[in-house]
């Protein structure tokens, strides 16, 4: 009884009957229910019993993604019929007497109550909008809200309030059902008023940066919109009526790349406010090398939500890849407006300044970023390099060492540490850095050449000659400084 791994975790939307029966399916992650046993005695609510069997312990990125390896408990069962030796009577009479539990909760609780409950058990001070279920509560309802549909798809936010009798869901329209039977009920206006009083704000107060006429003209010439408007709540679709759109998105995202892109484009043409689908298209287009198209999808997101952090980040990278430096810089600056603590924006702006060879700007921007994250390896590296180019060697060494200590992937740090140390007259330190650089950059002759020329200058030809010979052999042609150094050491040897 059960399904093979591949069949169990295949796309449920495209599987043939009976594998497309949603009542026998948990999620893409866990797969199908191999056995579903729901029994009751008469119509009494208290005399129901259910047992569902399927694979559990399945590891994947989310419930809507299939696992890549076998689940911890596959729960596929082999048996031989008939199984009369296992026949038994199932007693569905309600349990009587005391219920064994740590505590019986008689009022509705929310997911936000979990953390404060754990904190109270652990005797940890914890501030939360939830309540510990270990404490006495006067609350008579549970509340939940989500803005995910709005900010990701442009759909109406959802909110819910529930007491022991009624559950109210509010979006573009409002429904009222019994808390357990799900039967439609007459709306409890007092409960609805409670929901309205605690519901959060939908659209944040966004302060848009004013643009000069020249800035607006430049952005518009590149196809960018300079006036942004949040999706209209009044016109937004209700997520409960658009679930089939999400099903189409999941199907399209798991198609082969060349089929996925046109399928997703068709979806966003019909549903232009699906922000996450624009981002999926941006990712897939970039995989195809279509960076211009990828950037346009990020801009489509920013037209609807100008503070979308993922779209801003991706737009910076794509604009820089396309050599649209001014556009990349504008997006990076917007990232800082949205979140002044986002160190990524400082990295991008520092790298842009480095590409322009504006060393002082590199130093200034990196310094601001290092106030946010003092150990950032990228900022320390670029700042140290800029100081080295300006022969501010003490500062160069401080930041290059910091970059190295924090696992910078730049392989020329030791070379520049050697150059800075040599200029400060610290020859032994410089020599050690050059030796390390030779190991870090085995195909680059510069560290060996620098070390050799420094030793010649210090009149240490016996140490310099092997290095000079090594460099001369590795160079593709004559190098005047190396030939001069060899000649100098040879004349010293004759003396």
Is residue 214 in a domain?
no
Is residue 203 in a domain?
no
> Both 48 and 81 in a single domain?
yes
> Both 287 and 431 in a single domain?
no
> Both 317 and 307 in a single domain?
yes
Long-range pairs for 192-197 at CB < 8 Å and ≥24 separation? 192/161, 192/168, 194/141, 194/161, 195/143, 195/159, 195/160, 195/161, 195/168, 195/170
The residue segments making up the domain with residue 185 are 111-198
> Both 320 and 415 in a single domain?
yes
> Both 363 and 285 in a single domain?
yes
> Both 312 and 361 in a single domain?
yes
Residues 6+ apart with CB under 8 A from 168: 160, 161, 162, 174, 175, 176, 187, 188, 191, 192, 195
Domain boundary among 420, 440, 470: 420
Q: Do residues 168 and 187 make contact, with C-beta atoms less than 8 angstroms apart?
A: yes
Is residue 55 in a domain?
yes
Is residue 206 in a domain?
no
User: Is pLDDT of 69 > 80?
Assistant: yes
Measured at the CA of 40, the angle between CA 52 and CA 85, to 5 degrees, comes to 65
d(CA 289, CA 318): 11
d(CA 253, CA 294): 16
Assign residue 248 the CATH number of its domain. 1.25.40.10
Half-sphere exposure (Cβ direction) of 35: Cα atoms closer than 13 Å:
11
What is the radius of gyration, based on Cα positions, of the chain?
Answer: 33
% of the chain residues with pLDDT over 90 = 36
Q: Do residues 425 and 458 make contact, with C-beta atoms less than 8 angstroms apart?
A: no
User: Is the pTM above the cut of 0.85?
Assistant: no
Instruction: Write down the pLDDT at residue 492.
Output: 75
The more confidently predicted of residues 48 and 324 is 324
Is residue 213 in a domain?
no
Number of structural domains found in the chain: 4
pLDDT per position as a tens digit, 140-193? 778 888 888 887 677 888 999 888 889 999 999 999 998 878 899 999 998 899
**Quick one: pLDDT band at residue 48, thresholds 50, 70, 90?**
low
> Both 374 and 412 in a single domain?
yes
Instruction: Write down the pLDDT at residue 82.
Output: 63
């Amino acid at each position: 009884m059960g399904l093979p791994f591949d069949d169990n975790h295949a796309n449920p939307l495209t599987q043939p009957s009976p594998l497309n029966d949603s009542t026998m399916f948990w999620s893409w992650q866990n797969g199908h229910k191999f056995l579903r046993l729901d029994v009751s005695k008469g119509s009494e609510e208290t005399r129901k019993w259910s047992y569902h069997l399927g694979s559990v312990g399945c590891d994947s990125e989310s419930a809507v993604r299939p696992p890549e390896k076998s689940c911890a408990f596959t729960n596929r069962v082999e048996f031989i019929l008939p199984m009369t030796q296992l026949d038994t009577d199932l007693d569905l009479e309600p349990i009587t007497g005391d219920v064994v539990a740590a505590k019986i909760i008689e009022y509705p609780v929310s997911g936000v109550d979990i953390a404060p409950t754990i904190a109270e058990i652990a005797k940890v001070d914890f501030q939360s909008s939830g309540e510990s279920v270990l404490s006495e509560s006067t609350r008579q309802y549970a509340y939940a809200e989500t803005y995910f549909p709005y900010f990701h798809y442009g759909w109406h936010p959802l909110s819910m309030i529930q007491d022991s009798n009624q559950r109210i869901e509010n979006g573009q329209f409002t429904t009222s059902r019994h808390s357990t039977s799900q039967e439609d009920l007459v709306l409890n206006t007092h409960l609805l008023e409670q929901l309205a009083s605690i519901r959060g704000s939908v659209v944040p107060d966004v302060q848009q940066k004013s643009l000069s006429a020249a800035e607006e003209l430049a952005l518009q010439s590149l196809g960018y919109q300079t006036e942004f408007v949040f999706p209209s709540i009044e016109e937004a679709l209700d997520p409960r009526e658009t679930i089939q759109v999400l099903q189409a998105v999941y199907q399209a995202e798991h198609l082969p790349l060349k089929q996925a892109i046109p399928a997703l484009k068709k979806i966003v043409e019909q549903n232009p406010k699906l922000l996450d689908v624009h981002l999926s298209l941006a990712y897939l287009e970039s995989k195809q090398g279509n960076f211009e198209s990828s950037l346009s999808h990020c801009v489509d997101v920013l037209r609807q939500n100008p503070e979308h952090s993922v779209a801003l980040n991706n737009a910076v990278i794509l604009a820089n890849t396309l050599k649209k430096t001014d556009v990349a810089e504008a997006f990076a600056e917007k990232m800082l407006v949205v979140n002044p603590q986002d160190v990524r924006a400082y990295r991008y702006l520092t790298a842009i300044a480095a590409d322009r060879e504006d060393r002082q700007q590199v130093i200034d921007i990196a310094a601001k970023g290092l106030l946010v994250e003092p150990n950032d390896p990228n900022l320390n590296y670029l700042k140290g390099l800029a100081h080295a180019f300006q022969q501010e060697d003490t500062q160069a060494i401080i930041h290059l060492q910091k970059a190295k200590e924090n696992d910078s992937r730049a392989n020329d740090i030791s070379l520049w540490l050697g150059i800075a140390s040599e200029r400060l007259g610290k020859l032994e330190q410089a020599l050690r850095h050059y030796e390390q650089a030779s190991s870090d950059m085995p195909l680059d002759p510069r560290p060996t050449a620098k070390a050799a020329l420094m030793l010649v200058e210090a009149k240490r030809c016996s140490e310099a000659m092997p290095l000079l010979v090594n460099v001369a052999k590795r160079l593709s042609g004559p190098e005047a400084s190396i030939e001069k150094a060899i000649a100098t050491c040879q004349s010293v040897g004759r003396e």
